[in-house]
Amino acid sequence: MSDTGIGASVKRKEDQRFLTGRGNYTDDIDRPNQTYAYILRSPMAHARIKGLNIDAAKAAPGVLAVFTGADTAGLGGIPCGWGVNNKDGSPMNEPKHPVLAEGKVRHVGDPVALVVAETYAQAKDAAEAIEMDLEELPAVVNMEKAIAGSGPQVHDDAPSNLCYDWELGDEAEVDGAFKDAAHVVSIDITNNRLVPNAMEPRAAIGEFDKATGEYTLYTTSQNPHVIRLLMGAFVLQLPEHKLRVVAPDVGGGFGSKIYHYAEEAMVTWAAPRVGRPIKWVAERAESFISDAHGRDHITHADLALDKEGKFLGLKVYTKANMGAYLSTFSTCVPTYLHSTLLAGVYTTPKIYSEVKAIFTNTVPVDAYRGAGRPEATYLLERLVSKAAWELGMDQVEIRRKNFIPKDAFPYQTPVALQYDSGDYDATLDKALELADYAGFPARKAEAAKRGKLRGIGFSTYVEACGIAPSAVVGSLGARAGLFESANVRVHPTGSVSIFTGSHSHGQGHETTFAQLVSDTLGIPLENVDIVHGDTNKVAFGMGTYGSRSLAVGGEAIMKALGKVTDKAKKIAAHIMEASEADIEFKDGKFTVSGTDKEMAFGEIALAAYVPHNFPHDQLEPGLEEQAFYDPMNFTFPGGCHICEVEVDPDTGVVEVVNMTAADDVGRVINPMIVEGQIHGGLAQGIGQALLEQCIYDEDGQLVTGSYMDYCMPRADNLPDFKAATTETLCAHNSLGVKGCGEVGAIGSPPSVINAVIDALRERGVTDISMPATPQKVWQALRAAEMPAAAE
Amino acid sequence: MPNVSMTVNGKQVSQEVEGRTLLSAFLREKLDLTGTHIGCDTSQCGACVVHVDGKSVKSCTLLAVQADGASVTTIEGLAQGDDLHPMQAAFRDCHGLQCGFCTPGMVMSAVDLLQHNPDPSDREIREWLEGNICRCTGYHNIVKAVKQAAQSMKGQQAAAAE
Amino acid sequence: MHNFDYHRPSSLDDAVAALGKGEDASLVAGGMTLIPTMKQRLAAPSDLVDLGGIADLVGIKDDGDSVTIGAMTTHAAVAASSAVPPSLAALAGNIGDAQVRNRGTIGGSVANNDPTACYPSACLALGATIVTNAREIPADDFFTGMFETALEESEIIKAVRFPKPEAGNYQKFENPASRYALVGVFVAKTKDGVRVAVTGAGNDGVFRAGDIEQALSANFSPDAVDSSSIPVDSLNGDIHASAEYRQHLIGVMARRAVAAING
C-alpha cells in the first residue's frame, strides 16, 4: 500500500479551501447584474386562493417583477421519478405539483409568489405588500385521519388521500407460517418525521444568456445532471444542450438536495423574463417548510417464532406519509428501499409487507440519509429485541440463532434482494469486544449506585445501497437508470483530470477518487484533480445518494482508468517496439517483460499528445477515456451497533455513554474518511432516537420550525464513538466496495431505543417511541409506577 | 445611510451601510469575505462566528454599525499567509470537517475557547461548542482536532518561550 | 428586518433624548434577543438606540455586602468575575452559548424579562435591586409578567445590585432544542431568609416559590422540597414539557440546588 493509494488515510485535498474560507458555495456566487428573489409562501396548510393582489408589490421600491401561479400554470409540474403500482396493478395517484400554487395551497410553505428585486430586503419588503386572499380549508396532518375517507382531501384526484396501496409477498402464504408459530410478537411503531437540516440552506441562481440562448442554474444539488434532466425535460421544456446546471461546493445534503425543487425552476424560468440573473437563498425558517422531510412511517408488525426462537414469518403493515406532493424519490422510499430490507440479517423464510402511501397537508417527504432502510431496520431490530425480552432470550443469542450464515452467500431473501456477501457474526463479535459487553453488568451496578438506570441495546443490520442496477430498478418503476459516468483525461505532462458524475458535498471524493487514480496509475496524488458538479464539464451523471459514489461512481472511474491503461500499453508497445502482450504496467512504469526497457507514465502521456510516428490506422493520438458503469446488484453493507445509555430517573434525561459501531462496508479506500462518514451517520441516528422530531399541530402548522424547537444534535449531546470495520468484499464490483455513507444512520436508532428500554425495564417500562425525550421518558416511568394514572 | 469603519483581518475598511445591515452581510456582500456562512436565522448554528475585538461572536446577530471602530477577524484572516493556524491544521489532520459549511464558525469558536482555556477537557470542548452545529461529523473528530490544536499551540508557546 | 435609524449615544442623557425622538424607538443592549426578533420581523422599531457606546454602563463593582453590575456588562464578564457571588457567576457562565455570553448583557436580559431567561431568577432569589436612570426598583416589584417589567417608557437600566448571599445555587434544566431554561431554579440563603425563584416554568414569567421557601426555612435539606403545591395551571406546557413535567422538574432542580449548597 502506498501512502496515497487504496487503504491509506490520506488527508483531504479539499480541506485547504474549506479551512481558509475559500469554499465556493452557491450563496458565495454573485453573477454580474444579479437580482434577488424572495418567495412568498402559504401561511396556511390548506386553503383556496381566492385572490392575489400583487399591484402594490410590483410598485414597491426596487421591484423588477412579481410572478404567481397564473404566470407559471403552463409549465410542467415538478415530476416524481418513480412510479409505484397498487396491489391490483393500477398506477399510483400522481397529482400535479405546480411550480407556484395554482388555485390551492396544500402545505405551510407552499410557494405562492416569486418577487424579484434589486436587493433581497426589497424583495422581502415588497412581498409583505402582496394581498393574499386565502379561504382556509380544513387540513389533514394525521395519516389515519387522512385515509379514513370522510375528512379533508389534499387533492381532488386522490380519493381518501391515497397515493398507492402496495404490497410485496403473499399475505396468505405468510399467514400459513404463523399457524405453526409457538410465539407471535407484535409491535406498533412510529418512525418519527425528521427535517434533514444540511447546514447550508438551499439556494439557486438562474441566468439566461441572450446571445447564445443558454440557461445556467447554479444550485445546491447532489446531482446536477438529474436536475438538468428533470427541470429541462419535464418542467421548463428546455433542451439539454441549452441548459447548464452547476452544483458547486454544497454544504451537506443527506438526501434533501437530491430532489428537483420548484425554486430551481422558478429562478431559471424567470431569468429571461427579468433579463438579469436571479438569486434565491433560503432562510432557515424557509428550509424547514420547503426542504423535503424524512421518514414518517407508522407500522404494525407481527413476527412468528418457533419455540426455539427461530423466526418463521413476518408481516408488516406500513403507512407512509408523502406530504402534500410527490417529491422526486418519495414513492420508492417506503416500498423498494424499505420492504425489500425486511429480511434484515435473518433467515426469516416468509415475509409480507403492505405499504399505504398517504397525502397530507405537510411538506413533501422523501429520502433522508438511509431512506427506507432505517425504517426497516428500526422496525426489525425493535421487534427482535422485544421478542428476546418476551421469550426470555439473550439479545445476542436470538440474533445469532437467526443470522444468515456466512457460507450462505449469495443469499436470496424472500423480499426480492439477493445479498452477495456478508459476515454478520464477525461484525457482532467485533462490536461485542469493542463495547466490552462482558463488562456491562458491572457498569450497570456502578451506575445504579449513582442513581442512574443503565441499559444496553443492540442492532444488527444489513442495508442495500450502491444504488442501483438500472435493469432492476427499471423493472420496479424507476423512471431513470442509476448508472454512473466517468471520464479520465490524461494531460500531456502526465497530470490527470477525472470528470465524475458523482457529487461531493462532504464525502471527500476529491481525495478518495484521487486515491483510486494514484493507486492505479502510480502517479502522485497532487497530479490528480477531481472535477464534478457542472453539466458543462462532466458528460453525464446520476449524482450522489444511496451510498453510491464509490460503488458506482468509483467503479466508473476504475473502468475508465482500465481503458486508459489499455491505451497507454498500446502506446508503450509501439514506442518500445514490443508486443502489446509483453507490456506490463506497475507502479507508474511500463516495462517490456524480460527486458530492461521501461517508460514512465508521464512519458507515455507526452507521447500520446506528440504522436510523431503513430501508425494512425491503429493508434489514435491522445489519452482520454470515458466509461459508464451500471452495477450488477445493490451492495450490502452490514454490521452491529451497540448503544449504552444512562437514564436519570428524576428528570428522564438519557445520556448515551457508549456508542459502538462495527460495520462491514467492503473494502475501505480511505479509513479516515470512512470513519468520519460512520460518525456522522451515528450522530444523525442518535439525533433521531433521542432529540429530533418534526411536529405539526392539527391545523398543519409546523411547531418545530426553527432550531429553537427542532432539536439538532450538538457536541454535548454526543459521546466519543467507537467505530471499527470488518471486511467482506462486494462480490460484483472490481474494488470490492460496498458504501459507508448511510450505515451509521441506518443501524444506530434501534440500538439507542433498545438501550433506553433495557434501562427502563426494571421499572416496568416496555416501550418508548422516538425521540426518547426527557419528558417522554419521565412520563413512561411515571405511567409504569402508577398504572392507574396512565389510563 | 450610516458609515461604518472597522479593521477587518488587519485591513482598514470604511463603507456606507443601511442600519439594518448585519455584520455577516457586511462581510459577505460588501467585503466579499464569503467564508463567514449563514446557516440559520435564530442565532443557533454558529456558521457565522467571527472575532470582534478578539472575542467570538455570531456575526448574524450583530449589526455592522455595532461593530463600528472594532477589529474583526474572519476565517480568511486566521492563517498567516500559506501557513494554517494550528486550529485549521488540526481540523485537517483530524478530519474535523466534511462539507465545510460549519467549519469557519467552528474553527473561529474553537480558537476563542483556547484563548480562555488552553488545555480543555473533552467535556469542556463539547460544552463550549454548543453554539456551533455540525450536521456532518458527529463532532467526534472536531473534539479531537481542538485537543490536538491545544497541544500544538502549547508546544509552540513553549518553543517560543525558550 | 425592516430598516431603522441607528443611534449610538455616549451618555445616558443622550440615550433618553434619542429614545424620545423616534416614533417607535427601541433600546438595544447586547441585541441577542432583539436582533433575531427584528430579523423575523416580529419587531420593527423606527429607531434603534444602542447603549453600547456608554462606557459608564459597563463594569462590576464590589461594594462589600453587595456587588453592582453595570447594565452593559456581558454574561462572559460576569461569569469570569471573582467579585460576583459564585452562584451568579455560574449562572452567567451557562446562559446561551459562548458567543451569546460575549455579547449579551445583564441589563438587556433583565429588561427583556424573557420567561425562559436565567437572570430574572437570580434577581428575585438574591433580592437584587434594579438601578435605573430614574430610581431603584426592588426585584420583587420589577418583574411584572411575561416580557413585562416595571420600567417606564424612557427608563433605562443602569445597573443591577445584588446583595451577597450566604450561599446560593442555580440549577437549570435546559430546553433540549433552544437551550433556554425549561425550568431554572435559584435557591439562595440570604440575610432575609431562604429565597427560591423559578424561571422558565411560570406562564406569567419568573416567580418565587413561597411554599418551597417556607419548607426550606424550616429545614434546609433536599428532602424538604416539594413542588407539588405549585398549581399546574400556573405553569407553561409546550412540546418540550407539559405543565406537570415542569412542576416535577421544579422540585428536582430545587432539591439539586439545595444539595449543592449543602455540599
Average pLDDT, chain C: 96
Question: How many structural domains does chain B have?
Answer: 2
Whole-complex ipTM: 0.98
Cross-chain residue pair B41–A721, CB shorter than 8 Å = no
What is the arithmetic mean of pLDDT over A153-182?
A: 96
Residue in chain B lying closest to A195 (CA): B135
Residue B50 placed within a domain: yes
The CATH number that domain C55-163 falls under is 3.30.465.10
**Confidence at residue C228, expressed as pLDDT on a 0 to 100 scale:** 95
> What is the dihedral sign for C-alpha C141, C142, C147, C148?
positive
What is the arithmetic mean of pLDDT over A734-750?
A: 97
Contacts of A506 in chain B (CB under 8 A): 98-100, 136
Query: What is the third-level CATH fold of C5-52?
Result: 3.30.43
Cross-chain residue pair A19–B103, CB shorter than 8 Å = yes
The CATH number that domain A297-467+633-790 falls under is 3.30.365.10
What is the tens place of the pLDDT at every residue in A540-599?
Answer: 999 999 999 999 999 999 999 999 999 999 999 999 999 999 999 999 999 999 999 999
According to the 3-state scheme, what is the secondary structure of chain B? CCEEEEEECCEEEEEECCCCCEHHHHHHHHCCCCCCCCCCCCCCCCCCEEEECCEEEEHHHCEHHHHCCCEEECHHHCCECCECCHHHHHHHHCCCCCCCCCHHHHHHHHHHHHHHCCCCCHHHHHHHHHHCCCCCCCCHHHHHHHHHHHHHHHHHHHHHHC
Residue B162 placed within a domain: no
The CATH number that domain A483-629 falls under is 3.30.365.10
Q: Where are the domains of chain C?
A: 5-52, 55-163, 167-262
Which are the contacts of A134, defined by CB distance < 8 A and separation ≥ 6? A42, A43, A44, A47, A48, A49, A50, A105
- Using N-to-C axis directions, what is the helix angle for C210-218 and C243-262, rounded to 10°? 30
What is the tens place of the pLDDT at every residue in A321-342?
Answer: 999 999 999 999 999 999 999 9
- Phi, psi (degrees; rounded to nearest 5) at A722: -105, 110
Please report which confidence band the pLDDT of residue B100 belongs to, taking 50, 70 and 90 as the band edges. Answer: very high
- Using N-to-C axis directions, what is the helix angle for A373-391 and A743-760, rounded to 10°? 30
Q: What single-letter DSSP state applies at residue A518?
A: H
In this structure, which amino acid lies at residue B34? T
**Interchain CB contact of A32 with B (< 8 Å):** no
What is the tens place of the pLDDT at every residue in A422-445?
Answer: 999 999 999 999 999 999 999 999
Q: Which CATH number fits domain A31-137+199-252+257-290: 1.20.1560.10, 3.40.605.10, 3.90.1560.10, 3.90.1170.50?
A: 3.90.1170.50
Percent of chain C with pLDDT over 90: 96
**Interchain CB contact of B52 with A (< 8 Å):** no
Contacts of A11 in chain B (CB under 8 A): 92-93, 95
- Last residue of some domain: B54, B77, B100? B77
**Confidence at residue B156, expressed as pLDDT on a 0 to 100 scale:** 85
Percent of chain A with pLDDT over 90: 97
Return the residue in B24, B99, B144 with the most chain A beta carbons within 10 A, the one to mutate for interface testing.
B99
**Interchain CB contact of B106 with C (< 8 Å):** no
C-alpha cell at A148: 379514513
What is the arithmetic mean of pLDDT over A503-518?
A: 96
Cross-chain residue pair B61–C3, CB shorter than 8 Å = no
Fold: same for A297-467+633-790 and A483-629:
yes
What is the tens place of the pLDDT at every residue in B102-139?
Answer: 999 999 999 999 999 999 999 999 999 999 999 999 99
Cα dihedral: A610, A555, A512, A741 (round 10): 160
Cross-chain residue pair C249–A651, CB shorter than 8 Å = yes
Three-state secondary-structure class, residue A176 = helix
My answer on whether B93 and B49 are in the same domain is no
Cross-chain residue pair A21–B92, CB shorter than 8 Å = no
**Interchain CB contact of A22 with B (< 8 Å):** yes
Residue in chain C lying closest to A705 (CA): C177
**Confidence at residue B160, expressed as pLDDT on a 0 to 100 scale:** 80
Specify the higher pLDDT residue, A709 or A475: A709
Cross-chain residue pair B36–A252, CB shorter than 8 Å = no
Please report which confidence band the pLDDT of residue A790 belongs to, taking 50, 70 and 90 as the band edges. Answer: very low
Please report which confidence band the pLDDT of residue C22 belongs to, taking 50, 70 and 90 as the band edges. Answer: confident
My answer on whether B28 and B47 are in the same domain is yes
Cα dihedral: A113, A114, A116, A117 (round 10): 50
Q: What is the CATH number of the domain that holds B15?
A: 3.10.20.30
Cross-chain residue pair A707–C178, CB shorter than 8 Å = yes
Q: How far apart are CA A682 and CA B85, in angstroms?
A: 29
CA distance C177 to chain B (A): 10
Q: How far apart are CA A467 and CA A550, in angstroms?
A: 11
CA proximity to A534, closest of A280, A256, A219 = A219
My answer on whether B104 and B138 are in the same domain is yes
**Interchain CB contact of A659 with B (< 8 Å):** no
CA distances from A684 to A197, A385, A458, A718, C141 (A): 10, 22, 17, 10, 46
- A225-229, A279-283, A777-781, A786-790: the lowest-pLDDT one: A786-790
My answer on whether B12 and B57 are in the same domain is yes
Cross-chain residue pair A714–B129, CB shorter than 8 Å = yes
**Confidence at residue A787, expressed as pLDDT on a 0 to 100 scale:** 62
**Confidence at residue C48, expressed as pLDDT on a 0 to 100 scale:** 96
Residue B110 placed within a domain: yes
If contacts are CB pairs under 8 Å, which of residues 105-124 in chain A contact chain B? Answer: 121
- CB distance A437 to A642 below 8 Å: yes
Residue B88: which of A19, A284, A676 has the nearest Cβ? A19
**Interchain CB contact of B109 with C (< 8 Å):** yes
**Confidence at residue A616, expressed as pLDDT on a 0 to 100 scale:** 84
Cross-chain residue pair A704–C3, CB shorter than 8 Å = no
My answer on whether B8 and B59 are in the same domain is yes
Cross-chain residue pair B19–C8, CB shorter than 8 Å = no
CA proximity to C225, closest of C243, C235, C233, C213 = C213
**Confidence at residue A772, expressed as pLDDT on a 0 to 100 scale:** 98
Judge whether residue A791 has pLDDT over 70: no
What is the tens place of the pLDDT at every residue in A623-679?
Answer: 999 999 999 999 999 999 999 999 999 999 999 999 999 999 999 999 999 999 999
How would DSSP label each residue in C122-176?
A: HHHHHT-EEEESS-EEEHHHHEEETTEES--TT--EEEEEEEPPSEEEEEEEE-T
- Phi, psi (degrees; rounded to nearest 5) at B124: -65, -35
Domain residues for B103?
Answer: 86-157
Cross-chain residue pair C4–B41, CB shorter than 8 Å = no
Instruction: Report domain C167-262's class.
Output: alpha beta
Task: Name the one residue in this structure whose C-alpha cell is 452495477.
Answer: A631
**Interchain CB contact of C248 with A (< 8 Å):** yes
Q: What is the CATH number of the domain that holds B142?
A: 1.10.150.120
Contact partners for chain A, using 3 or more CB pairs closer than 8 A, are B, C
Cross-chain residue pair A773–C248, CB shorter than 8 Å = no
- Last residue of some domain: B77, B110, B133? B77
Average pLDDT, chain B: 96
**Confidence at residue A788, expressed as pLDDT on a 0 to 100 scale:** 57
A·B CB contacts under 8 A? 176
What is the arithmetic mean of pLDDT over A366-381?
A: 98
Residue C97: which of B19, B65, B130 has the nearest Cβ? B130
Q: How far apart are CA A55 and CA A72, in angstroms?
A: 18
**Interchain CB contact of B74 with C (< 8 Å):** no
Judge whether residue A185 has pLDDT over 60: yes
**Interchain CB contact of B61 with C (< 8 Å):** yes
Contacts of C248 in chain A (CB under 8 A): 778
Q: How far apart are CA B125 and CA B90, in angstroms?
A: 14
Q: Where are the domains of chain A?
A: 31-137+199-252+257-290, 297-467+633-790, 483-629
CA distance B130 to chain C (A): 6
Residue in chain B lying closest to C99 (CA): B57
Residue B113 placed within a domain: yes
Please report which confidence band the pLDDT of residue A272 belongs to, taking 50, 70 and 90 as the band edges. Answer: very high
In this structure, which amino acid lies at residue B20? R
My answer on whether B93 and B141 are in the same domain is yes
Cross-chain residue pair A121–C3, CB shorter than 8 Å = yes
Q: How far apart are CA A274 and CA A159, in angstroms?
A: 40
- A117-121, A553-557, B153-157, C27-31: the lowest-pLDDT one: B153-157
My answer on whether B31 and B63 are in the same domain is yes
Please report which confidence band the pLDDT of residue A1 belongs to, taking 50, 70 and 90 as the band edges. Answer: low
Residue A199: which of B18, B101, B129 has the nearest Cβ? B101
What is the arithmetic mean of pLDDT over A52-76?
A: 97
Contacts of B66 in chain C (CB under 8 A): 28, 31, 50, 52
